[in-house]
């Protein structure tokens, strides 16, 4: 009995020990670092297949088990991805030897006897209305999660002083994941290129670069926010045009702040009707 209580305390204090001893997953160094980080705002810019979904599921399960009454929201860009992510949580839960019965257990959510709940949501703002006092939000593949949803989720952390983690492979210079990664807001930013993942070999990476080409390789494996290939203007050109400290591109039109950027504002007629 004493041994059980001692172990429970060890698991409660360390998600890494919990993962190793209860789930049989030895966290990679970066996963261990993320699991132990006390920061309330964490951004993870990760390679494909680096272990984002695995760590999200373990972090969510640990919070639910050891912080009674926690509401945890897992957000993914699509229904298929949220079901996949939730299946990982369920399969880890089933590995626990003395797992308590679940008062609620379905395809996208589970409730524990200690009052905690894990809910996995697809990316739709309408679906998240009604949740409040959220203890932990994890966005998996955040670069593809709708910006509206991100904006709707943040206030839910206010009362609970909850934690938010955005984990993603980049997807171009757009959206809230890119903006937070490059912006001034306070976040712990962690970059995990494929070269830091012990399961991805240099030989495989060399093959991938050859097969996919450098553009895709940099985005998928090396954490780079690439320019979309069909953009009319590069991101840097647009940013330069919006700063008063930079020589205007078209001096005849005045300073940058006086130049309207069709396509960037909802109040301005789009340049290409139908593409807005």
Ligand X SMILES: Nc1ncnc2c1ncn2[C@@H]1O[C@H](COP(=O)(O)OP(=O)(O)OP(=O)(O)O)[C@@H](O)[C@H]1O
- Footprint on this chain of Mg ion (rule: CB under 5 A): 52-53
Comparing CA positions, the residue from 238, 245, 230 lying closest to residue 260 is 238
Long-range (24+ apart) CB contacts under 8 A made by 174-178 are 174/228, 175/143, 175/144, 175/145, 175/147, 176/142, 176/145, 176/147, 176/150, 176/151, 177/43, 177/139, 177/142, 177/143, 177/145, 178/143, 178/225
Write out the binding residues for ligand X, residues 192-211 only, by CB under 6 A: 199
Residue nearest to Mg ion (CB): 53
Write out the binding residues for ligand X, residues 130-189 only, by CB under 6 A: 169
Residue 257 in tokens: 């702040």
Residue 81 interacts with, from Mg ion, ligand X, none (CB under 5-8 Å by kind): none
For the CB of residue 85, give the shortest distance to ligand X in the complex, in Å: 8
For the CB of residue 50, give the shortest distance to Mg ion in the complex, in Å: 9
Strand partners, 138: 74, 165
Q: Which is nearer to ligand X, 118 or 241 (CB)?
A: 118
Residue 9 makes CB contacts below 8 A (sequence gap 6+) with none
Cβ contact 45:168 at 8 Å: yes
For the CB of residue 212, give the shortest distance to ligand X in the complex, in Å: 14
Residue 216 in tokens: 């895709």
Write out the binding residues for ligand X, residues 24-43 only, by CB under 6 A: 25-28, 31
Window contacting ligand X (CB under 6 A); options: 44-52, 157-165, 183-191, 211-219: 44-52
Write out the binding residues for ligand X, residues 45-64 only, by CB under 6 A: 46, 48-54
For the CB of residue 175, give the shortest distance to ligand X in the complex, in Å: 17
For the CB of residue 141, give the shortest distance to ligand X in the complex, in Å: 6
Q: Which is nearer to ligand X, 46 or 156 (CB)?
A: 46
For the CB of residue 39, give the shortest distance to Mg ion in the complex, in Å: 22
* Cα–Cα separations (whole angstroms), residue 49 to 25, 123, 194: 15, 21, 8
Q: Which is nearer to ligand X, 11 or 157 (CB)?
A: 11
Q: Where are the alpha helices (DSSP H) in 38-170?
A: 52-66, 79-94, 125-128, 147-153
Residues that bind ligand X (CB under 6 A): 25-28, 31, 46, 48-54, 169, 199
């Amino acid at each position: 009995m004493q041994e059980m209580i001692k172990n429970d305390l060890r698991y409660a204090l360390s998600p890494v020990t919990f993962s190793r001893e209860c789930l049989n997953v030895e966290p990679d160094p970066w996963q261990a670092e993320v699991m132990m980080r006390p920061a309330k705002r964490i951004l993870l810019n990760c390679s494909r297949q680096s272990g984002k979904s695995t760590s999200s599921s373990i972090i969510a399960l640990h919070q639910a088990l050891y912080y009674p009454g926690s509401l945890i929201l897992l957000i993914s860009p699509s229904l298929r991805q949220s079901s996949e992510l939730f299946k990982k949580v369920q399969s880890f839960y089933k590995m626990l030897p003395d797992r308590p019965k679940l008062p609620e257990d379905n395809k996208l959510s589970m409730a524990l006897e200690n009052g905690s709940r894990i809910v996995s949501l697809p990316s739709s703002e309408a679906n998240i209305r009604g949740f409040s006092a959220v203890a932990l939000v994890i966005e998996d593949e955040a670069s593809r999660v709708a910006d509206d949803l991100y904006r709707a989720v943040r206030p839910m952390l206010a009362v609970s002083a909850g934690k938010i983690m955005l984990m993603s492979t980049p997807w171009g210079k757009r959206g809230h994941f890119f903006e937070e990664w490059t912006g001034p807001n306070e976040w712990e930013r962690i970059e995990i290129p494929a070269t830091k993942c012990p399961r991805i070999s240099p030989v495989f990476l060399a093959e991938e670069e050859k097969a996919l080409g450098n553009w895709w390789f940099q985005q998928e494996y090396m954490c780079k926010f690439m320019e979309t290939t069909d953009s009319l203007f590069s991101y840097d050109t647009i940013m330069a045009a919006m700063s008063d400290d930079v020589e205007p591109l078209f001096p005849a039109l005045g300073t940058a702040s006086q130049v309207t950027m069709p396509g960037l504002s909802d109040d301005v007629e789009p340049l290409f009707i139908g593409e807005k």
